[in-house]
Amino acid sequence: MKNKKLIFGIVIVLLVIIILVYGQNNKNNEIRIGLISPLTGSAAAYGEPAMKSALIAQDEINQNGGILGKKVKLIVEDGKCDGTTAASAANKLISIDKVSIILGGHCSTETLAIAPIVEKAKVVTIASITSSPAVTNIGSYIFRNSPSSEFYTAKSADYAYSKGYRKIAALYENKDFPVGVYQAFLKEFTKLGGEVISNDPFNSDVNDLRSYMIKIDKENPDAVLFASQGPGASVTFYKQMKELGLLSKYPIIAGAQSISPIINEQTGGLLNNPNIFTTDAFVDTNNTKSAAFLKKYEAIYKQLPPTNIAYLATSYDAVYLAKEAIESCNSFTNTECIKEYIGNLKDWSGATGLVTLGKIGNPITPIGLHYFDVDGKEKYRELK
């Protein structure tokens, strides 16, 4: 009996050793890249499709020989658009998974939270949706291939001013992205000669915005600037503006997350009005790379998600940016070389179009006007 127990114990030990060795060999035969995206919560409306887009790129790369002869493996973490959660995810990816590149966060709160962690660890980070101006110059290892809200919201201010709006009332959620939208709009609009006559931030747990709306109506602005982190607060805003009879009275300059098919659906078509508009990253669907990627996304997931397709394209492109940098440096651990390569890219061609990343996290990308027409058709038009 004792001999049987001893033999059994030896077999178990050998199996454990084999599993550990096999697992280590697998790790050595793959390039691990971290990905932090909001997969739950209101920001999941764009965070989940962004993850799916990155996984398409991962699979394409692996089907074509991988990177430096190794399979690429995306290690996905749910950042929940929450700073504490994202920071924990970054620490796990760096210390346990041993990644040297992280894609994300996919919302400004995530990216701002992980920035000091990745900078200290010298881990290259490519954020493909993050747009807060606070990310600019936040670290030498931190890049983004989507435009800063300061860049694309300036286009909203330009467009609003060209429409003859001179007095704006601002209402926005008190989170990094919406605050960034307000600050960027204020800077450009006042530079043009316009005036923001009031600004009201509201907390994410506030479900009744009518008191703010009544105050705004008394101020009688030419238009209202509204920005939220995700679709939930936007749905509330449009419904309550309609309830008070104000949606038809005031043009709405929306933050990029406040105009989408899902919001229009959940409000019963309240966005079907060209006077409710935003500006955001733009993808030309006639571009060969863009069309091929979107066709593949739709074939795999059966439909395009109800969010800006630019968020899909930038997330897909981020994986290829990492691939190109690794191959150029002939290393996935030489992050000094990788960051220099990415920072010097100009007019890089991807599914997003032509992108120049730059070294300060302030890329130059195509920007478009986004709205729904009176027939409920979603419209994008590139702004030069």
What digits encode the pLDDT tens for the residues 149-172? 888 999 999 999 999 999 999 999
What digits encode the pLDDT tens for the residues 43-98? 898 999 999 999 999 999 999 999 999 999 999 999 999 999 999 999 999 999 99
Give the tokens for residue 296.
Answer: 């593949």
* Dihedral of alpha carbons 42, 43, 46, 48, sign: negative
Name all domains of the chain by residue range, CATH numbers in brackets.
25-148+285-367 (3.40.50.2300), 150-281+369-383 (3.40.50.2300)
Q: Look at the pTM and tell me if it is higher than 0.85.
A: no
**C-alpha distance from residue 87 to each of 11, 113, 140, 151 (Å):** 41, 6, 18, 27
Give the tokens for residue 374.
Answer: 């009176």
Confidence tier at 268 by pLDDT (50, 70, 90): very high
Taking residues 31-53, report their average pLDDT. 94
